[in-house]
Amino acid sequence: MLEEIGEALRAQRESLGLSLEDIQRATKVRSRYLAAVEEGDHEQLPADVYTRGIIRRFCQEVDLDEGPVLEKFDEWRRERDRKSLTDRLSRTPGMGSITLRPVQPSRGWGVWVILAAVLALAIFAGAAYYLIILPQAELSRPNDEPEEDPEAVNDEPEEEDPPEEEPEEPEEPEPEPEVQREDGPEPDEITYTVTEAEELRVSVSATADCWLRIWVDEERLTDDITLHPGEDAEWTADDSITLRAGYPAALAITVNDEEMDPVDTASPRYLRFRLAE
């Protein structure tokens, strides 16, 4: 059932031409949780109260009616808890094997036999209440737990009833990538160093004609290109990107989604971009 929810969300997302990264940016939920929802992998998801919030925001972002989806999630959760309870009872010593047999009291000790039988019934009734009736009552309670996501950032907190279980500790926020620019080491070089990033993305947009020669991870691309006004280009690398720009002042440069200051020269320059070690 959880797999059906994931398939419906994936199909709706793909029909809108959206990636998981697009959903992550819009919902502030980490992409690994969004992927786990699509794959129906509950082992990779946080506590149920937060998973429900993730599914609700996913539905809202892809314009999918959240009501039926959340009802199906609640049904899956109840079925999972019911199976867990059944397994737990089957592993409890003595449950299912207690048999009460009539005792024929004899003269002199019949009162004690009756008292022992009453005590055994009381113990059996108490065990049945705590192991069967009480868990079923807990499962039948209406769901009024908060649906806040532990991975959400910059969301205004909502006033909700406190959850019945302790929430997981939120993960430490990942450090934001930073880009440092420095001239050199050669006079015709400018070096951009990116820290706290796992991949390197460089995009350029031309305001005038600009010729470019490109190296990606130390390998030169086969063809040089010339960008005309309004045209742009983008490259991705694991380690480094180098551009030989004929007219660098005509380029608007973005590195890992961060806009760089203009290069104030019309002379050719090597623009070297690299990930910090």
- pLDDT, tens digit, for every residue of 89-130? 777 665 554 444 554 544 555 677 788 888 888 887 777 666
* 180-198 confidence digits (pLDDT tens): 898 877 888 999 999 988 8
Give me the pLDDT at residue 144, please.
Answer: 47
Rounded Cα gap, residues 248 and 188, in angstroms: 11
Q: Minimal CA–CA distance to 233: which of 264, 266, 211? A: 211
Q: Minimal CA–CA distance to 48: which of 2, 16, 12? A: 2
Give the percent of the chain with pLDDT over 70. 76
Give me the pLDDT at residue 226, please.
Answer: 93
Residue 183 near residue 257, CB atoms below 8 Å? no
pLDDT over 90 at 213, yes or no? yes
Give 12-15's long-range contacts (Cβ < 8 A, gap of 24+).
Answer: 12/62, 12/63, 12/64, 13/38, 13/62
Rounded Cα gap, residues 58 and 6, in angstroms: 10
- For residues 71-77, average pLDDT: 91
Token pair recorded at residue 213: 């020669």
* 142-171 confidence digits (pLDDT tens): 554 445 555 554 555 555 665 666 667 667
| Residue 129 or 233, more confident | 233
Give me the pLDDT at residue 209, please.
Answer: 93
| Residue 274 or 165, more confident | 274
Q: Look over the chain and give the mean of its residue pLDDT values, rounded to a whole number.
A: 81
Give me the pLDDT at residue 120, please.
Answer: 84
Give the percent of the chain with pLDDT over 90. 44
Give me the pLDDT at residue 114, please.
Answer: 82
* 136-150 confidence digits (pLDDT tens): 655 555 554 445 555
- For residues 251-271, average pLDDT: 91
Rounded Cα gap, residues 276 and 191, in angstroms: 11
Q: Does the predicted model carry a pTM greater than 0.75?
A: no
Rounded Cα gap, residues 27 and 150, in angstroms: 12
